[in-house]
Amino acid sequence: MPDRFDTLARPISLSVDSLHLSRGDRRLIEGLSLELGPGDALWLTGPNGIGKTTLLLALAGLLRPDAGSVDWMIADHRVRPENAVAYAAHQGPERNGLKLGEELAFWQTLYRDRKVLQARLESVGLSGRADTPVAGLSAGQRRRLSLARLMASNRGAWLMDEPLAGLDTEGRARVTHVLSDHLSNGGLAVIASHQPVPIDGVTAHKLVLEPGS
Amino acid sequence: MMRAILLRDLRLAARGASGTGLSLAFMALFVLLCGLALGGSQPALGPGLLWLAATLSALLGLDRFYQPDQETGALAQMHHAGASETAIATAKCLSFALTAIIPLILAAPFLALLLGMDGPSITGTVLSLIVGAPALTAYASVTGALLAGQRSGGVLAVILTAPLLIPVLIFGTEAANVFAADGLATVQFRILAGLSFIAVALGLPATVAALAANRGA
Amino acid sequence: MFSRFANPQRFVGLARWLGPLLGWGALVTLTLGLWQSLIASPPEAEHGETVRIMYVHVPAAWSAMAAYSAIAIASLVSFVWRHPLADMAARSLALPGAAFTALALITGSLWGKPDWGTYWQWDGRMTSVLVLFFIYVGYMAIWQVVEDRKRASRLAAITAMIGWVNIPIIKFSVEWWNTLHQSATVSMPESPGLAMELLVPLMLMATGYTLLLGWLTVRGMLAEIATARAARCPAPAATARMEAL
C-alpha cells in the first residue's frame, strides 16, 4: 500500500477502458474509455438518471463494472480505488447525533489527517461551528463539511457529486478555490454537476452523457 | 482506527441512537407478560425465560447495527478511508456488545426477582448470558450486515437469526439450570463457550463478506 | 473449469433435452413408486399399513436436506467464482426444497399419530427439519427483500452457507436437549434391516423426488434466464461525448 501522506507528491492517473455499467436491469454506460492525469479535471454532465452517479461509484470502486476496467495509478503503480480516491457522495456519511466537529474529527482520524480540526473548519468557512449538531446543518453547510472531508482525505483524486448544490456565492467561491488548489498541486478531480464548476488555471474536460438512440 | 469507530458509536449510543433504553424496556415488559401469562413467579422456568427475553430484545435492536451507517454511506466511506471491513465489523460488534447486550445482562438479575428466582439460579443465568454473549453478538452482526440495506428488516432479522441461536439458547438455559448444583465446570458451560467461539469464527468473516457485498464489491 | 458452463446459452441448449428427461423420468418413477408403496407392497410387520406414509415421508426428508446441501454448494460456487448459473440454481432450488421440507413435516406428523400417539414429537430429527424449514424461509426472504440482483445473490449465498454450517450444530443441540427432557417417550421406529419389499418403493420414491427436484430446478433456471433477457433490452445506454473546455 502506498504511503497515504505522499499521495499528492506522486503523480496520480486514471485510465478507464471500455467500461460497461448498469444499475439493476438498466444499462447505463457502454464502452466508455478515458484517461486523466495529474492536474486534470473532468466535468460530468447530463440529464438526471443518465448515470453520472453510477459512473462516480464505479470510479470509486463502489460498483462492479459489467465489463471493462477502471485503473488508478500512483507513480505508475496500480492501486486500489480506495487508496487513490476520496468520494464526496451526494449525501454525506454524517450521522445525526454527532456534532460537526466530532464528525469531521472522526474522518480526520480515519484518514490520518495531520491538520488541526480548526484549520480544516476554517478553510471551508465553518470556523466556530464545531459544536453545531449535525442534525441542524443546512444543505450548504453539509456541502462545506463534505469539502472539508475531501481535503482531510489527502487523496490524490477527488470524486464529487454535485459539489455546488445548495451553496451560496461565498461557498461556491470556496469550492473553486479549494479545487483549483488541489488540481494545481497535482491532484485530479471528477465532478458530476449540472452547473459548470469554475476552476482557475487548469485543463478541464467536459464529458456529456446523453440519452442513446 | 477501530478505536475511532468504536468511540463514535459509543458517542452516538450515549445520545440515544442505539435504542438501549427501548431494548431494556422490551425485556422488562416481556418478563412481565410471561409472569402474567404463566401465573406469577416461575423460578423453574426463570433461566429459560430470561434467556428468551434477552435474545429477543437484542434481536429487536439489530436494525441499528449497520443499517444507519449503510444508509448514509458511512460504511463505504470508512472503507475508503482505509478501515478494513474486519476492523469495522470488530468495532461495531464491540459497541453492540457494550450498548445492546451488556445492559440486558445487567438488567437480568432484577428481572429474575420478578420471576421469583433464587440467588444461585440468578448467578447461573447471568454467567451463562455472559458466556453466550459473544455468540449473540456474532450472529446479530451477521444478520445486521445481511440486512444493512433494508430499512425495515425487523421480523426478517428474527427469522434469520433465531435458528442460528437455537443451540446457544439450549445450552445457555441448561448451563444456567445446572449451575446451582454443579457450578461452572459443567459440560453445558463448556459447550456454550464452544458455541460462542464457533459463532465468532463464523460470524466475523460472514459479516465482512456481507458488508463487502453491500458496498458493491 | 466453470466458465465452460457459465454461458447461459449453452445451458439453455442443455436444458432443452435435460428438462424433459428429468420431468418424464420423475413422472414415471413417482407413478411406479406410489403404486409400489401404496398398493403393491405388503403391510409391514411392526407398523402395519401406516408404514406406507414412510415411503412418502422419508424420501421427502432426504430431498429436503439434499436440496439444501445443493443450495449451499451452488452458493459457494456462486460466491467464490461469481458463476451466474450457480446462483440461479441455488435460487431455483429453494422453493421446491422448502416444499419437500413441509411435506416431510406434514407426513411425519401424520405418521407420528398412529405410531407415537402424538402429532408432534420433540425429537432431534423432527425438530431439526422444522428448523430447516425456517432456514429455507430466511433464505428465500433475502432474495425477496434485496432489490439489487447482484447484491441479493451474494447476500443469499452468505445466508445459505452460514445456515448449512449451522445445521449439524443445531441437530446436535436439539438431540442433546431431547435426551435430557424427553427420555421417557417412545423411541424412533428402528429401521428393521430394511427388507427388500420396503427398499424397492423407498428407492423408487427417493429417485422420483430427486428427478422432480432436478426438473423444477432446471425450469426455474430457464425462467430466470428468460426474465433476465427480457429485462435487459429496454433503454439504450447513454452516449458519452468528450469536449474540451
Strand partners, A77: A74
Q: Is residue C52 part of a domain?
A: yes
Q: Which three cell numbers stand for residue A125?
A: 468557512
Q: How confident is the model at residue A100 (pLDDT cuts 50, 70, 90)?
A: very high
Q: Which of C148, C236, C243 sits opposite A24 (nearest CB)?
A: C148
Q: Is residue C3 part of a domain?
A: no
Decide if B22 contacts B61 (C-beta within 8 A). yes
Decide if C137 contacts C95 (C-beta within 8 A). no
Decide if B66 contacts B75 (C-beta within 8 A). yes
Q: Is residue A213 part of a domain?
A: no
Q: Does the CB of A213 have a partner CB in chain C at under 8 Å? A: yes
Q: Is residue C169 part of a domain?
A: yes
Q: Which of A204, A205, A209 sits opposite C238 (nearest CB)?
A: A209
Query: Chain C partners of B156 at a C-beta cutoff of 8 Å?
Result: 138, 141, 145
Q: Which three cell numbers stand for residue A188?
A: 485530479
Q: How confident is the model at residue A4 (pLDDT cuts 50, 70, 90)?
A: very low
What's the DSSP call for residue C31?
H
Q: Is residue C44 part of a domain?
A: yes
CB contact under 8 A, C155 and B160: no
CB contact under 8 A, B142 and C162: yes
Using CB atoms, list chains with 3+ pairs below 8 Å to chain C. Answer: A, B
Q: Count of CB atoms within 10 A of residue B106's CB?
A: 12
- Give one DSSP letter per residue of A67-123, joined into a string: EEEEEEEETTEEE-HHHHEEEE-SS----BTBBHHHHHHHHHHHHT--S-HHHHHHH
pTM: 0.91
Rounded Cα–Cα distance for residues C121 and C130 (Å): 11
Decide if C187 contacts C63 (C-beta within 8 A). no
A132: left (phi over 0), alpha (psi -120 to 50) or beta: beta
Query: Chain B partners of C158 at a C-beta cutoff of 8 Å?
Result: 142, 146, 206, 209-210, 213
Using CB atoms, list chains with 3+ pairs below 8 Å to chain A. Answer: B, C
CB contact under 8 A, B213 and C158: yes
Q: How confident is the model at residue A3 (pLDDT cuts 50, 70, 90)?
A: very low
Q: Does the CB of B162 have a partner CB in chain A at under 8 Å? A: no
Query: Chain A partners of C238 at a C-beta cutoff of 8 Å?
Result: 28-29, 46, 50-51, 209-212
Report pLDDT for B183: 84
Task: Look up the ipTM and state it.
Answer: 0.93
Strand partners, A27: A22
Selection from B209, B165, B5 nearest residue B98 by Cα? B5
Rounded Cα–Cα distance for residues B212 and A82 (Å): 13
Average per-residue pLDDT for chain B: 92
Average per-residue pLDDT for chain A: 88
Q: Is residue A187 part of a domain?
A: yes
Domain total of chain C: 1
Q: Count of CB atoms within 10 A of residue B1's CB?
A: 16
- Given a cut of 70, is residue A213 above it in pLDDT? no
Q: How confident is the model at residue C234 (pLDDT cuts 50, 70, 90)?
A: low
Report pLDDT for C101: 96
Residue A68, domain CATH: 3.40.50.300
State the DSSP H helix or E strand holding residue B78, giving kind and residue range, or none if neither: helix B74-80
CB contact under 8 A, A211 and C238: yes
Q: Which of C150, C236, C241 sits opposite A208 (nearest CB)?
A: C241
Cβ within 8 Å of residue C183, ≥6 positions away:
none
Report pLDDT for A76: 85
Q: Does the CB of B10 have a partner CB in chain A at under 8 Å? A: no
What confidence tens digit (pLDDT) does each residue in C22-76 have?
999 999 999 998 888 888 777 766 667 777 888 888 899 999 999 999 999 999 9
Report pLDDT for C195: 67
Among A177-181, B132-136, B137-141, the range scoring the smallest mean pLDDT is A177-181
Domain region containing A47: 12-94+142-208
Among A19-23, B25-29, C159-163, the range scoring the smallest mean pLDDT is A19-23
Rounded Cα–Cα distance for residues C30 and C215 (Å): 13
Selection from B89, B91, B93, B96 nearest residue B210 by Cα? B89
Q: Is residue C173 part of a domain?
A: yes
Q: Is residue C2 part of a domain?
A: no
Residue of B nearest to A155 (CA): B81
Q: Is residue A149 part of a domain?
A: yes
Q: Does the CB of B213 have a partner CB in chain C at under 8 Å? A: yes
% chain B with pLDDT above 70 = 100
Domain region containing B138: 2-214
Report pLDDT for C2: 45
> Phi, psi at residue B136, to the nearest 5°?
-55, -45
% chain A with pLDDT above 90 = 58
CB contact under 8 A, A97 and B69: no
Q: How near does any CA of chain C get to the CA of B138, in Å?
A: 12
Cβ within 8 Å of residue C186, ≥6 positions away:
C115, C116, C117, C121
Domain total of chain B: 1
Residue C223, domain CATH: 1.20.120
CB contact under 8 A, A51 and C235: no
- The arrangement of strands across the sheet holding A41-45 comes to A85-88, A157-161, A188-192, A41-45, A204-210, C239-244
Which residues of chain A are at the B interface, by a Cβ-Cβ cutoff of 8 Å?
4, 57, 60-64, 81-83, 85-87, 89, 91-98, 102, 106-107, 109-112, 153
Report pLDDT for A2: 38
Domain region containing C212: 20-183+194-244
Domain total of chain A: 1
- Given a cut of 70, is residue C3 above it in pLDDT? no
What confidence tens digit (pLDDT) does each residue in A152-167 have?
998 999 999 999 988 9
Q: Count of CB atoms within 10 A of residue C6's CB?
A: 14
Rounded Cα–Cα distance for residues B135 and B138 (Å): 5
Strand partners, A74: A12, A77
What's the DSSP call for residue C44?
B
